[in-house]
Amino acid sequence: MGDVLIALSPVIIFALIVYQSAALRNILVSCFTMVALEFLFVATKLLFENISGSKKGLAGKRLKDVYHLSNVMVPLVSGTIFGLITPATFWKADYSEIVSANPWADGYAYLVLFVGAAFGIIVGKLIFGGTGKNIFNPAAAGFVFCKFVFGARYAVDKYTTTAFSWEIATGSTVLHGNTNFATSFYTGTSVLDLLIGNTAGLMGETCKIAILIGLVYLLIRHTVDWRVVASFFGTFIFGIIFVGVVAVSYNPALNYMEFVLAQLFAGGVIFGGVFMITDPVTMPLSKPNRVLYGMIIAICTLCFRYLATGGEHYIYEGMAFSILIGNAITPILDYTKLSLKTFGTKEIIVMAALPVAMVTVVTLSKAGTLGLFAGAQYTPSSSSSGTGTGGTSGSWSSALNALLPFFRF
């Protein structure tokens, strides 16, 4: 847990520089809530066991005998992650106007943070028995709960920071509008902006350089299993390469390489793949199953991004939903009769076939949804903020040509 906090430090520093007091508030409230509820859980459990005279091993013991450093560090890490995957502000309106009209507007943020953190640690962890026994990632559980409960009042449109003279949105990322592969969804933000954090998104997910520094540290320290990280990112990149073919065939105005890079660096894929799916408690036990675990979460993320329809609160948080789905599948993967113990021939075939089959399904399904088999083409709308140059003659050949740079070496 100490290593994870050290790895998170570049992300925390970036958030404090850019979002300042908002970042400090979100992290402190989240950490305090989770650490306090963990303490109350241990203390209440000890009190109940002593009163009832239970034979479970706690009777006659004092709090200092059962409340350990791990009971502080584990919820501290979960609280920090939850604080980092929250927006800087929590109103879907012009923030300055709200504050000038209602000086108590900031109090809404404390409500959201407390409710989300409390739900995450109670429902995602404590009801399963506490530290080391939870099935779901507490931060992801709290985040998804907040998206369902608070919905549109979860972020403002703009957040002006004095750190680098940036004016950024804290709500939806540049993936907004990506379901129709409009040119405008990525042209407003360059790949460099996505790397340095000058982009819309949650506080901890925007600066990819800071996240990747943390990943390098975790891998050097062997704190995370590289198999989970490699299988997740490998499957996701494999998927977006072929989704990019669909995108370019539908809208030739898209730049293929920019599309692929924007899909990888936009949203919470990098942060979730480094700090959330690598939680050792919620991942499978055996090494082959951990490879499958990473693949499953990547495939679910692809499905949410490209196949889901409906309100933005469900489409654009596919990473968080996918993590919870992967957590729920973990007990099935660990089940004795289904668990993969070694990297044998059959296991390798299954691992190779799963991403190929599922990525094929996602790719063809998206192509069918867009009507590519019937010759449908993308036509920029009058309100499009893109280049306005494309979308008049889509074809599969133009998409396949986009893949040629991968084979020139």
pLDDT tens, N- to C-terminus, the chain (409 residues): 889 999 999 999 999 998 888 899 999 999 999 999 999 988 888 777 766 665 555 555 677 777 788 888 999 999 999 999 988 877 655 555 555 555 556 677 888 899 999 999 999 899 988 888 888 999 999 998 988 888 766 766 667 777 777 777 666 566 655 555 666 555 556 788 888 888 878 888 889 999 999 999 999 999 999 999 999 999 999 988 888 888 888 777 778 888 888 888 888 899 999 999 998 888 888 888 889 899 999 999 988 888 765 544 445 678 889 999 999 988 888 876 666 666 677 777 877 888 888 888 888 777 777 777 666 666 665 444 443 334 444 454 555 555 444 444 3
Tokens (6 digits) for 49? 């066991």
Count Cβ atoms below 10 Å from residue 108 Cβ, excluding itself.
Answer: 16
Kindly list the domain boundaries of the chain, sorted by start residue.
Answer: 1-159, 172-409
Tokens (6 digits) for 254? 């898209």
- Distance in angstroms (rounded) separating the CA atoms of residues 128 and 134: 5
> Which pLDDT value is given to residue 186?
57
Output phi, psi for 152, to 5 deg: -65, -25
β strands within 213-303, DSSP E: none
Please give the full DSSP string across 135-200, using - where no structure is assigned: SS-HHHHHHHHHHHHHTTTT--S-EEETTTTEEE-SSS-TTTTGGGT-THHHHTS-HHHHHHT-SS
CB 262 within 8 A of CB 191: yes
CB 106 within 8 A of CB 19: no
